[in-house]
Structures are given as structure tokens and as C-alpha cells.
Amino acid sequence: MAAKKKTTLLGSVKQLFVKVIFYFFVFSIGGVILLKFLPVPFTMTMIDRKVKSLFRGQDSEIHYKWRSYNEISREMHLAAVAAEDQNFPNHWGFDFKALEKAYVNNQKGKKVRGASTISQQVAKNVFLWQGRSYFRKALEFYFTGLIELIWGKRRILEVYVNVAEMGKNTFGAEASAQRIFKKPAKNLTRAEAARLAAVLPSPNKWSAAKPGPYVARRTAVIQRYMQALGGVKYIADLRRF
């Protein structure tokens, strides 16, 4: 009798597991398909910043304004690629050479250095939470593959430039351009776009509004990268599905 109950319990657990996996794939793939065409209303990172600001008794307003690809300066798109993922047009979500280089560097020193592509950052910011667990990293790889397959490069870059954190509780090129430069994102110059991209690794530590020596140096470096890549024509033929 006990053996029969155990068998029944195991069967129920197996059925539940299969259902969970099935619905996960249905909702994850469905969500990625929807967001290929619809503006991203918010991200998990935005929610995280909102909640933390509330708990700290700080200003919790989230500054975010979605703009389509053509409503943002090409210089901003290029600056993001130059600063964060210069091989973006060529890889399929993962830059394995950069990963190998980062691994070697991390083994030599104490400072952990990442090698996340723009695609990986979009997958993490839009669909997942901040953290460093193996489970979250596995999900990041899954969603990165999905958006590369379903969205294509142009849509990934469009989303990235819209949702990337560029200042305290400030997300995307449009909100940042209006708050810092008092102009729409479509009118950003190369120097302005490079300055916004300069703070992407740590937008709560560095400021594009009041750039210190480090941000000024990094802005100049990014501008040189942008020129070396050949200007905006480098991203003119991004893969679209």
C-alpha cells in the first residue's frame, strides 16, 4: 500500500514538473514574441530600483520614455555598441572570445571582469532579475538565444538603448537626453551619445550630467572607438527578422 502511494506521489510530481516546464516555455516564448512588436513597458531592473528607493526613503520616480529605433540618434546606437559590445553585429548573442579573455583576466586578478554582450544584458534586464546565481545565468543564456532568434539585432539594440540605465532611476536614451541635455534623443551628437554610453557600466556610480575625470576620459575613448568602427554605417545593416 505504501509503495502504491509512493508511486502515485512520484507520478503527480512528475506531471507537475512537466506542466511547469511546458508553461514556462509557452509564456517565455510568447512574451518574447509580443515584445518584438510592442514597446517594453518596464523592466525588472526598473522595479528593483523603484523598490529600493522606496525602502530607503529616496525619490522613487522612474524616468523612462520609449522611443522607436528611428526616433533615436544613430550616434547613440553606435555609442552603445562601441562602449559595450563592439562585435555585436557579428555574434549570435555570445562573444566567446571575450568570455575566454575575461576568464583569463579573472584568474589572474582579484577584480571580476564580465564579458556580457548587449544581447545578454537585454535578456537579463528585461526578463530576469539582478544577481549572480548559476540558475539566473542559465536563464540569461536561454533568453539571449530566444531574442537573437526572434527579435534580430536591430530590435535588440533598439530595446537596449531604450532600457539601459544611464543615471539614477533614469532609463534609456530619451529620458537621459531630456534630463541631461534638454533635447530629444534623436538630436544627440556623437559627443553627447558617447558621454551617455560612458556611464553604462555603473550608472549609479558615475554621472553623465556632471562628468568627472574618468567619465570624460572614457567619453573620449568611446568617440575614438566610434570613429574606428567606421561611424554609423557600422550598424546600418543589422540583422532583422
Domains and CATH numbers, the chain: 65-235 (1.10.3810.10)
What is the predicted pLDDT for the residue at 17? 86
User: Rounded CA gap, 86 and 181, in Å?
Assistant: 26
For the chain, helix (H) and strand (E) counts, in that order, are: 10, 3
User: Rounded CA gap, 86 and 78, in Å?
Assistant: 9
User: Rounded CA gap, 15 and 54, in Å?
Assistant: 41
DSSP 178: I
User: Rounded CA gap, 47 and 192, in Å?
Assistant: 27
pLDDT digit of tens for each residue in the chain (241 aa)? 555 555 677 777 888 888 999 999 999 999 999 999 999 999 989 999 999 999 898 989 999 999 999 999 999 999 999 999 999 999 999 887 766 665 555 555 655 555 799 999 999 999 998 778 899 999 999 999 999 999 999 999 999 999 999 999 999 999 999 999 999 999 999 999 999 999 998 888 999 999 999 999 999 999 999 999 999 999 998 977 6
User: Rounded CA gap, 147 and 128, in Å?
Assistant: 13
In angstroms, what CA-CA distances link 215 with 146, 199, 202, 210?
Answer: 34, 7, 11, 9
Looking at 164-205, which runs of residues are DSSP E strands?
165-167, 170-171
Looking at the chain, which runs of residues are DSSP E strands?
63-64, 165-167, 170-171
Residue 218 near residue 207 (C-beta atoms within 8 A): no
Helix (H, G, I), strand (E, B) or coil at 114: coil
How many residues would you count in the chain?
Answer: 241
Query: From the CB of residue 129, how many other CB atoms can be counted at a distance below 10 Å?
Result: 13
Q: Angle 93-129-48 (CA atoms, 0-180°, nearest 5)?
A: 130
The letter for the amino acid at 66 is W
Helix (H, G, I), strand (E, B) or coil at 189: coil
